[in-house]
Structure 1
């Protein structure tokens, strides 16, 4: 696994701008976060590993709900923002190409991996490492770009697994993997997880106040995100 696609260098360039965008933006605040938090369930008194934690918006909410938060991100600036936002949390600059050597086996109750999977080259190895640190009765919640939306936007074969370069609306340059849903399910299986739930979420009603046109499109088309709750497979 290399860091060629990883989000650290690309997100460092616009970390502060991303914080302002994601704090109340439709896709983050009214679409992804409500869905993932719902799949995590009650977190009070539990240790949650926030993978690809970004500027700490999830970590802040998890801490407010009573969780003990540990976070990691490849971007040093994102980690700095996390530490400022959630002083009680423990945050590490970490590349998922490397083992989580600072976490023992079965040491966290829940793992959150929101909108970061597509930046990882060796996703199965990274998921296997998250499986290692997760307690047997724990759960992984991850979200990713909806593969149908990817395919509609980029064309080509839906089933091709490939890297794309893209410029987002604010001029942000990003590089990430496109993969069909089947590939994500297989990677979870290979890493020792069983999928408990898979959601194709709809945005919260409040999101219409932020961007009515995109809100209405997300209500009728698979062009946004999907979210998965997965459990450690027994005996794996």
Structure 2
């Protein structure tokens, strides 16, 4: 039997708890969001597609910086929370295993795909669809669990992709893909992207007030996240 995550909206069961956790939490507010925003650059007066938007925390920051935000998530409750948080945005329930049929080719300036690629079974197809709706001079910003940190926690063959099930500290059960950094880069390549930058971010100074231990560990160990800015490869002709 081939490993798969499946298309159940895992975060639906704890969407409200996740919002409370991520709004001001170290890993989201002081680590991943600042890294992704830095890679997105100036978003004033541009259209940003927030893929797997969650409860709208990134979308709120994008809108605050002047972006026109379109978003979707697999979880209906997450979409409801995003609409409440960013009423000026355009959000809908959608699973990345299906095409973005409501978006035209080359219709968005940026795509943000934060901490969600590991939940997608056919990642190349999903990335190709994000590539399709992105303008030629646009950019995709993708963040994911750091593959080295995954390997440290779970062991096994680092180069063998596999699905694991894990229970996080709040009792949230999740199922997701473990893949190497090489595979993530190769999937972006096959989807028609060129990697422009890759960050192994460090948490902000404010994170130390939340947890000095986690702040210091993330400054010395590759156990958190990484973030990539990729641009459409003009050689693909897509």
- Identify the TM-score tier after normalising by the shorter chain: over 0.9
Alpha carbons 1:30, 1:204 under 8 Å: kept: yes
Alignment partners' CA distance in 2, 1:141 and 1:157? 27
Query: Could you say what secondary structure the match of 2:9 adopts?
Result: helix
Q: Which residue matches 2:207?
A: 207
Could you say which residue in structure 1 is the equivalent of 2:98?
98
Aligned residue number for residue 133 of structure 1: 133
Q: 1:107 aligned to 2:107? A: yes
What is the TM-score with the length of structure 1 in the denominator? 0.97
Q: 2:5 is matched with which residue?
A: 5
Superposition map of 1:42-191 within 5 A: 42-191=42-191
In 1, the alpha carbon distance for the partners of 2:104 and 2:53 equals 20
Give 1:10 deviation, angstroms. 1.4
Structure 1, unmatched stretches of 5+, are none
Render the CA deviation track for 1:5-45: whole Å, top value 9, x for unaligned. Answer: 25752100000000000001110000000000000000000
How many pairs are equivalent?
234
Could you give the per-residue CA deviations for residues 63-104 of structure 1, whole angstroms, max 9, x where no partner exists?
011000000100000000000110000001000000000000
Structure 2 unaligned residues grouped into runs of 5+? none
Q: 1:109 to 1:6 in 2, by over 3 A?
A: farther
Structure 2 residue 200 is the aligned partner of structure 1 residue 218: no
Q: Distance in 1 between matches of 2:154 and 2:24?
A: 27
Q: Distance in 2 between matches of 1:25 and 1:93?
A: 25
Aligned equivalents of 2:85, 2:11: Cα separation in 1: 18
In structure 2, C-alpha distance between the alignment counterparts of 1:17 and 1:53, rounded to whole Å: 16
Query: How big is each residue's C-alpha offset from its partner over 1:137-189, in whole Å with a ceiling of 9 and x where there is no partner?
Result: 00000000000000000010111100000000000000000000000000000
- Match of 2:234, SS state, is coil
Under a length normalisation based on structure 2, what TM-score does the superposition of the two structures give? 0.97
1 CA distance for matches of 2:137 and 2:35?
21
- Contact map agreement 1:48 1:70 (CA 8 A) in 2: yes
Inter-partner Cα distance in structure 2 for 1:15 and 1:7:
16
1:15 aligns with 2:11: no
In structure 1, C-alpha distance between the alignment counterparts of 2:117 and 2:225, rounded to whole Å: 12
